[in-house]
Chains A and B, each alone.
Chain A
Amino acid sequence: MTTTLLFDRIDEPGLHTLEVYRRRGGYEALRKALAMPPEAVLHELEASALRGRGGAGFQMGKKVSFLPKGGMDKYLVCNADESEPGTFKDRELMQKCPHMLLEGIVIAAHAAGATRSFIYIRGEYVLQADILDAALAEARAAGFVGEQILGSDTSLSLVVHRGAGAYICGEETGLLDSLEGKRGNPRLKPPFPANQGLYQGPTLINNVETLCTVPTIVTMGGSEYAKLGVETSTGTKLVSVSGHVQRPGNYEIELGIPSREIIYGLAGGPPEGRRVKCWFPGGSSSPVLTGEDLDIPYDFDSMAKAGTMLGSGAIIVVDDSTPILDVALKVAKFYRHESCGKCTPCREGTSWTVTMLERIDAGEATPMDLEIMASVQEHIMGNCLCVLGDAMAMPIGSMIAKFRPELEAHMATARIRSGVGGGAATEGVLAAQGALVGAGAGPHGEAH
């Protein structure tokens, strides 16, 4: 239906081997890029207007151009930590077409003048890391990675570095600290990695999908690539669809198509008889949208306009069978677990939010707790060292804003269930509120 670039026949047997990859013209883009001066390659990247696929959506070409010129050691780090809940696109790329990533890395390094590169892959991806290691060995042997690649004077060392389970190591500066052998705590910015990153040297950090797109851009030319998608969101994007859909999985779409086409057209929509209650358009960190928002075009700016974000391109669909509180609790618990603990609002705010949600569920909360919870989210937002705090505050905040009546009802019924409300225990808010009024209301209470 839409153009497939990254996923084009990706299930072809043996594609993970150098032989098959080359039979399909693999590493020709590298040959072409190495024949061009770095500036020319950078120009193509800028012309493509490719936006980062890792979450922030920052233009890759711009980022490369931020790296200082000069002879100092520069680094390229591929962010393969992929731990944003709902995201699993990088996994499929690395597992089935590792050489595409390697080729992209070498080209990007050539453009950025980096001489050392690392792939930081989450430790849970054992299979994919092994595949990358094997591919790297092949590529080295064939002279695509290492000293004076293909006889050019571009050299690049590459190491596959396995993480050990920490979401925060996907955040670029947390990743750098982790790669330096420290706890994965994010750093203060500025200085930005482009100036002072890995080992204090200028560092380019890009997501797997972003780098996998680079060879395509070099092959078809930046401006050609820019014709795909929509003006401010060019090209194709891998979307990981999961949750309450009939055909979960990764789909490559042209940016800007209606979200409905992805959720219903490709992923088959929610099970028979269910309707979309809410969905995360860009991983669990993005504010939720509802069934009414299905026609919003799926691209960076449209999502921003709708008050949410495209993030990592992970669509999580929740149908009407699930209470919103369960969703909120899952999300909050995740961020509490993953908060690195370095900054106050995130460390304390995430655990406070979980406590309040649990209290609501246990029927020990009052409507005031919703107010407090909402304001706690506001106090977290924008006040943290990195955006992990915001990554919880935004979705939770959006759920409180969009599902307040349901949350209040949940609270009320839970109070009755737990006996706090006492008195007349019928379902529904009004009855519940009646019960609340009745509770301990002396003679009137008895009169009821």
Chain B
Amino acid sequence: MPRPAPRTITFTIDGLEVQAPENSMLVDAAKHGDIEIPVFCYEPKLGNPVGACRMCLVEIEGIPKLQTGCSTPVKDGMVVHTQSERVKVAQNSVVEFLLINHPLDCPVCDKGGECPLQDITFGWGRGISRYVDPKRHFVKPLALSPLIAIDRERCILCYRCVRFSQEISEDHQLVLQERGAHSYVSTFDGHPYVAPFSGNIVELCPVGALTSQPYRFRARPWDIEDAGSVCTLCPSQCNVTLTVRDERVLRVLSRANPEVDDGWLCDRGRFAYPALGGDARVTAPLVRDGGELRPVSWERALEEAAAGLRRAGERVGALAGGGATCEEGLLLARLVREVLGSPHLDSRVAGALPLELLRALAEPSLQATVSDLEFAHAVLLLDCEPVADAAILDLRLRKGVRRHGLRLVPAGRAQLLDQAARAQLLDTLRAAGEEVVVLWHERLGAGAEGERAVRALLDLAATLGLAGIDGAGLLEVPAHTNGRGLREAGVLPNAGPELGELDEGGLNEGGLDAQGIATALAAGELSALYLLDVDPLAGPSPLPSSEHLRSPWAAPEPELWERALERASTVIAHATFLTEGVRAHANVVFPALAYAEKEGTVVHPDGRVQRLRPGVARPGETRDERRVLDELTAMVAPVAVGS
């Protein structure tokens, strides 16, 4: 689908000649001349402007009435005034109107100090109000959901939150009720506003009407620092800003990246942080003795682990996943392959694919990006449930459907493998247009039929000629956040870094994949298992507000893994939480870092490398995985080489 290709025009604003993209709204165009036009209801992320708040009124020569800058596309030669007396009067009066019923309880308001209403009142208000009658009062704050509080006194009826619910997340649960000055934001019959993306309304609200329950009264803007990072709780890898006070994350906000998250976050990414900083975290090294995992010194833990690995030697298998970074992956591969001499490591919990397939899939011309999802003619959802597998993509697809007439075609492995069904699928896609993106989940390649399915997928891509069409291609959602990064780091049984041949790298081949490792362990052919941020038996994630997200950890065959872990003589795990498998079977547990504490890089499903920066100090005795892997390597090395 054609993407907007703006041409630049010149217009005059407050006497300045300014260049701006044609048809961009005046409020945006003005920024090119460093001129700010105040807005409340305008938020391009929410779709077309609604022109409700009237804060952005400007004077345009040749038009008698003042116009709303948020909804007036700039044209070549336009002459605009934002400082004229008329405009000032209008701005003053809108501010005055808005404050009539606003409680002005800024001293006790969470928004205070980072509040558009405060800033605009200060910058564009008259400074006094002529309203002397009593303001209205309501019970406040009220619960809107377990996560969000609403203070209706403060609401300025800007429509942002309700537009989000109708037009972005499309859950249609948050609406305006009543009419005129009686209008208020609410849900149906006192039901809570619970939806996968509800938290975004807190960030959208330009006043303190919608506040985050966990953040309420925790800090003031002048108490906090911002730290940019990337959320690694799911493969979406949304960009976030961490609100930090006293080395604790107090809030997670979106750090808008149009190519990744479009400025939205899911509720898990936004609200899971208390758990990440909470008591459930593993913060000290643990060693199992007498059947119990007990806290021990790092020396002791490392010693136990090293001993176990020495005993196992090349009879060790390793799995990496979760939020493990590329660097950690490389170090793990070095330890297992080069030092212990074992070829058995994998990051595809669902099972490996032949190298040629992996390479075919990684073919640059076949790669689709997140924004391609929005502008494609059709997106084939293959064994993939976006809201569950990579939440934020769900919003991107809805946007595509709503704004660009994107056609969504959900299908499963069966349709791909069945001749007739496949032909039908092709017709549907062709009918929609040539720019087709296939959004598929790693699980497509799992199990016996997996390889056939992936071949069929490549085949479909070829038939549709996706490689030749820009804006079209494949986008794989890995089971694990950094699945793609770990593969490229060579955490695979059959490939080295950058999917290189193993023998070329002088590395031994014939490695077992995840399934193989499990079988071998169960059969006693392997004796040790190394788990980097992954637990094949993990049940649902220990993190809150994740109802909509599948646990990314669980492997296809729990029984097999149960036996494997039972039989393994040494199980070493890097873990942030004691998930099922770790709690029951690990001999050594290294306390792992959460993303907010991590340094490193991850690779987004569409191939972009993103950087994690530590926002807060490491809790308790946790250590950087890279250091742990390094020390372990050093301790194991001489012996392993010697033997």
Where the two chains meet, the residues of A that have a C-beta atom closer than 8 Å to any C-beta of B are 166, 183, 188, 336-345, 347-352, 355-356, 359, 372, 376, 379, 382-385
Assess whether B89 is in contact with A379, with CB atoms less than 8 Å apart: yes
Assess whether A341 is in contact with B90, with CB atoms less than 8 Å apart: no
Residues on the A chain within 8 Å of B130, using CB = 372
Expressed in whole angstroms, the Cα–Cα distance for A350 and B180 within the complex equals 9
CB nearest to B68 among chain A residues: A188
Assess whether A345 is in contact with B97, with CB atoms less than 8 Å apart: yes
Known contacts A188-B68, A351-B180; decide if A342 and B159 are in contact (CB<8 Å): yes
Known contacts A336-B181, A339-B180; decide if A348 and B52 are in contact (CB<8 Å): no
Expressed in whole angstroms, the Cα–Cα distance for A348 and B179 within the complex equals 12
Q: B93 on the interface (CB 8 Å rule)? A: yes
Q: Most B CB atoms within 10 A — which of A166, A343, A348, A383?
A: A348
Assess whether A382 is in contact with B65, with CB atoms less than 8 Å apart: yes
Residues on the A chain within 8 Å of B293, using CB = none
Q: B183 on the interface (CB 8 Å rule)? A: yes
Assess whether A352 is in contact with B180, with CB atoms less than 8 Å apart: no
Expressed in whole angstroms, the Cα–Cα distance for A349 and B98 within the complex equals 10
CB nearest to B158 among chain A residues: A344
Assess whether A383 is in contact with B94, with CB atoms less than 8 Å apart: yes
| 15 more A-B residue pairs beyond the given contacts A342-B157, A350-B180, A352-B97, with a C-beta to C-beta distance below 8 A | A188-B49, A188-B68, A340-B180, A341-B180, A341-B182, A347-B181, A348-B97, A351-B180, A352-B131, A379-B90, A379-B93, A383-B54, A383-B57, A383-B90, A384-B54
Expressed in whole angstroms, the Cα–Cα distance for A350 and B179 within the complex equals 13
Where the two chains meet, the residues of B that have a C-beta atom closer than 8 Å to any C-beta of A are 49-55, 57, 65-66, 68, 71, 89-90, 93-94, 96-98, 100-101, 130-131, 133, 156-157, 159, 176, 178-183
Residues on the A chain within 8 Å of B71, using CB = 188
Within the complex, the shortest CB–CB distance from B223 to chain A, in Å, comes to 33
Known contacts A339-B181, A384-B54, A385-B52; decide if A344 and B90 are in contact (CB<8 Å): no
Residue from A166, A348, A385 within 8 A of B181 (CB atoms)? A348
Residues on the A chain within 8 Å of B180, using CB = 336-341, 347, 350-351
Known contacts A379-B89, A383-B57, A385-B51; decide if A344 and B179 are in contact (CB<8 Å): no
Residue pairs across A and B with Cβ atoms less than 8 A apart, 10 shown, are A166-B179, A183-B176, A336-B181, A342-B52, A344-B54, A344-B157, A347-B181, A347-B183, A383-B93, A385-B51
Expressed in whole angstroms, the Cα–Cα distance for A345 and B57 within the complex equals 12
Within the complex, the shortest CB–CB distance from A40 to chain B, in Å, comes to 36
Expressed in whole angstroms, the Cα–Cα distance for A339 and B97 within the complex equals 15
The 7 closest A-B pairs by CB, nearest first: A379-B93, A341-B183, A348-B97, A339-B180, A341-B180, A188-B51, A351-B181
CB nearest to B159 among chain A residues: A342
CB nearest to A335 among chain B residues: B180
Assess whether A343 is in contact with B52, with CB atoms less than 8 Å apart: yes
Residues on the A chain within 8 Å of B65, using CB = 382
Residues on the B chain within 8 Å of A385, using CB = 51-52, 54
Within the complex, the shortest CB–CB distance from B126 to chain A, in Å, comes to 11
Residues on the B chain within 8 Å of A359, using CB = 133
CB nearest to B89 among chain A residues: A379
Expressed in whole angstroms, the Cα–Cα distance for A348 and B93 within the complex equals 11
Residues on the B chain within 8 Å of A336, using CB = 180-181
Assess whether B179 is in contact with A340, with CB atoms less than 8 Å apart: yes
Expressed in whole angstroms, the Cα–Cα distance for A119 and B394 within the complex equals 39
Assess whether A339 is in contact with B54, with CB atoms less than 8 Å apart: no
Within the complex, the shortest CB–CB distance from B307 to chain A, in Å, comes to 70
Expressed in whole angstroms, the Cα–Cα distance for A350 and B182 within the complex equals 12
Expressed in whole angstroms, the Cα–Cα distance for A340 and B181 within the complex equals 8
Expressed in whole angstroms, the Cα–Cα distance for A347 and B100 within the complex equals 11
Known contacts A188-B71, A342-B52, A382-B65; decide if A348 and B182 are in contact (CB<8 Å): no
Residues on the B chain within 8 Å of A342, using CB = 50, 52, 157, 159
Assess whether B53 is in contact with A343, with CB atoms less than 8 Å apart: yes
Known contacts A338-B180, A341-B157, A342-B159; decide if A348 and B101 are in contact (CB<8 Å): yes
Residues on the A chain within 8 Å of B96, using CB = 379
Within the complex, the shortest CB–CB distance from A259 to chain B, in Å, comes to 28
Residues on the B chain within 8 Å of A347, using CB = 97, 157, 180-181, 183
Residues on the A chain within 8 Å of B100, using CB = 348, 351-352
CB nearest to B97 among chain A residues: A348
Assess whether B157 is in contact with A355, with CB atoms less than 8 Å apart: no
Residues on the A chain within 8 Å of B156, using CB = 344
Within the complex, the shortest CB–CB distance from A165 to chain B, in Å, comes to 10
Residues on the B chain within 8 Å of A352, using CB = 97, 100, 131, 133
Q: Most B CB atoms within 10 A — which of A337, A352, A355, A356?
A: A352
Within the complex, the shortest CB–CB distance from A122 to chain B, in Å, comes to 16
Known contacts A188-B49, A337-B180, A379-B93; decide if A348 and B66 are in contact (CB<8 Å): no
Known contacts A348-B100, A348-B101; decide if A383 and B181 are in contact (CB<8 Å): no
Residues on the B chain within 8 Å of A376, using CB = 93
Within the complex, the shortest CB–CB distance from A345 to chain B, in Å, comes to 6
Expressed in whole angstroms, the Cα–Cα distance for A135 and B254 within the complex equals 59
Known contacts A166-B179, A341-B182; decide if A188 and B94 are in contact (CB<8 Å): no
Residues on the B chain within 8 Å of A340, using CB = 179-180
Assess whether B97 is in contact with A349, with CB atoms less than 8 Å apart: yes
Within the complex, the shortest CB–CB distance from B59 to chain A, in Å, comes to 11
